[in-house]
Amino acid sequence: MGPFLIFLAFIAVIMISNIRVVPQAHAYVIERLGTYNGTWGSGFHMMFPILDKVARKVTLKEQVGDFPPQPVITKDNVTMRIDTVVFFQITDPKLFCYGVENPILAIENLTSTTLRNIIGDMELDQTLTSREVINTRMRSVLDEATDPWGIKINRVELKNIIPPAAIQESMEKQMKAERERREQILIAEGEKKSAILRAEGKKESMILEAQAEKESAILRAEAKKEATIREAEGQAEAIKAVQQANAQGLTYLKEAQADNNVIQLKSLETFAKVADGQSTKIIIPSEIQNMAGFVTSLTEIGKQS
């Protein structure tokens, strides 16, 4: 029983050593007797002893290839250095394993040559302002070229563009001049708006002053008109009162059946009021003269008695 148990233990060890557990987002390429046999996805798997082996372990996650700066020449013969970042993902482990010897190095070289071809058709200013265009063209070219390798290019980004020192200095001067020009424009626009606002404010002030003066004149005219009306009404009331008093006096005289002497006496009183005026020449009727003599006689009689 001893050798049999040893044999069973040996078989068990061999079987256990050929058990493989593939992690999530990974794939194993399996070869049998040196030829491709299959691709294992995530989970539990077992190989045939001696016959099968794991040729390559492939990650299916998105990967980042950060490549060093590459020298490129623009259409207007300016040499600059550009470094790129490529985001790619393995979609077919079999093609990735057997399609190219070194996939990452192949992507780096393909990126460098594609970048030189694209930048060679563009001038410096266009290169500096067309990053999105360059990224799109590079992604399209690389994705098509790496498709037979089981690789999908998701994104390509220009990480940095490094022009020559002289070009950088010239660009800095140009940017400084542009900033100063924009500053002057902003100052001029600010002064213009300020002048417009001051003029509009002065205009509004003059309009308000004119309106206030107009309203004040209207109020003064209305007040003067109201005062004139009230004065006229007062004079009319006074005249009316005088006339009513005269009429009442005549009515009393008529009711009292006054004789001519009383009437003449009232005439004398009226004459006295007239004499208080500013006239320098007064015409006295004969009846009033006779009445005056009559009053004088009465006065003398009174004194004698």
CB 94 within 8 A of CB 35: no
CA dist 258 and 262 (Å) reads 6
The answer on pLDDT for 88 being more than 90 is yes
Return the percent helix, strand and coil in the chain, to nearest 5: 65, 20, 15
Q: What is the pLDDT of residues 165-218, one digit of tens each?
A: 777 777 778 788 888 888 889 889 888 998 899 888 888 888 988 888 888 888
CA dist 171 and 213 (Å) reads 62
DSSP lists the bridge partners of residue 303 as none
Q: What is the pLDDT of residues 14-38, one digit of tens each?
A: 778 788 888 998 999 999 888 899 9
* pLDDT level of residue 259 (50, 70, 90 thresholds): low
pLDDT at 301: 47
Contacts of residue 255, defined as CB under 8 A and 6 or more positions apart, other chains included, come to: none
CA dist 142 and 110 (Å) reads 7
Q: Collapsing DSSP states into helix, strand and coil, what is residue 54?
A: strand
**pTM for this predicted structure:** 0.54
CB 48 within 8 A of CB 68: no
The answer on pLDDT for 156 being more than 60 is yes
pLDDT at 141: 92
CA dist 152 and 30 (Å) reads 22
Across 171-175, 217-221, 262-266, which has the greatest mean pLDDT?
Answer: 217-221
Name residue 262's amino acid.
V
Contacts of residue 168, defined as CB under 8 A and 6 or more positions apart, other chains included, come to: none
